[in-house]
A and B are shown apart, each in its own frame.
Chain A
């Protein structure tokens, strides 16, 4: 079945440093979504990428979808303590079913 791998599993940064998490799928995706889960909370939708090579920005967050539609990345510039949480990518192949990566847990030291 489809697998979505995400690295790194954990990332500790000092406030102000940049952060990147990478997502790779074993199959070509129709779209990829990113979610953020705060400690003790539930996943919250951040963004969806659909087109090959697509790049989207949300303030300090930059999302990329690979040309082959099998990989994606999330980059945060100048992290803040409010960025703490686990970031999940989720790939959709068909039928509105998502396969989630294992997530990257980000901690930010003030």
Chain B
């Protein structure tokens, strides 16, 4: 298993541009999450999904959208990028019946 994979690793965006951060897991995990981590800070939950076709807002959802059309993929969409969205974005997943979260390597996003 490749685990949780994220692409791209790093991206620079201009203000107002949009992009999609990709997250894929091949472990048949039902729960998936998106977090952002600002420098020197903890992780803030953006969106999460309990299974294909079901998504819900986390703590900081404004400016983001998600979809979950398959069990494996959970892309995060940024519309109209703003400097406040400069952060490291982590995707995570959880196996059925467990609470442990397995994190991907992260995407570093810089909005200028």
The answer to the question of B75 belonging to the interface, with a C-beta cut-off of 8 Å to chain A, is no
Residues of A within 8 Å of B59, CB to CB, are 1, 99
The answer to the question of A83 belonging to the interface, with a C-beta cut-off of 8 Å to chain B, is no
User: Interface residues of A: mostly helix, strand, loop or mixed?
Assistant: strand
Chain A interface, number of residues (Cβ within 8 angstroms): 23
Bound CA span A103–B43, Å: 9
- On whether the beta carbons of B42 and A88 are closer than 8 Å, the reply is yes
Bound CA span A88–B31, Å: 20
The answer to the question of B64 belonging to the interface, with a C-beta cut-off of 8 Å to chain A, is no
Chain A residues 16-52 with CB under 8 Å of chain B are 31, 33, 35, 41-45, 48
The answer to the question of B74 belonging to the interface, with a C-beta cut-off of 8 Å to chain A, is no
- On whether the beta carbons of B101 and A101 are closer than 8 Å, the reply is no
Band of interface residues on B: 20 to 34
Residues of A within 8 Å of B31, CB to CB, are 96
The answer to the question of B45 belonging to the interface, with a C-beta cut-off of 8 Å to chain A, is yes
The answer to the question of A102 belonging to the interface, with a C-beta cut-off of 8 Å to chain B, is yes
Bound CA span A103–B104, Å: 19
Q: Which residue of A lies closest to B91 (CB)?
A: A42
Residues of B within 8 Å of A65, CB to CB, are none
Residues of B within 8 Å of A99, CB to CB, are 45, 59
- On whether the beta carbons of A103 and B99 are closer than 8 Å, the reply is no
Residues of B within 8 Å of A63, CB to CB, are none
Bound CA span A39–B40, Å: 11
Partner of A43, one of B40, B43, B58: B43
* A interface with B by C-beta (< 8 Å): 1, 6, 31, 33, 35, 41-45, 48, 88, 90, 92, 96-103, 105
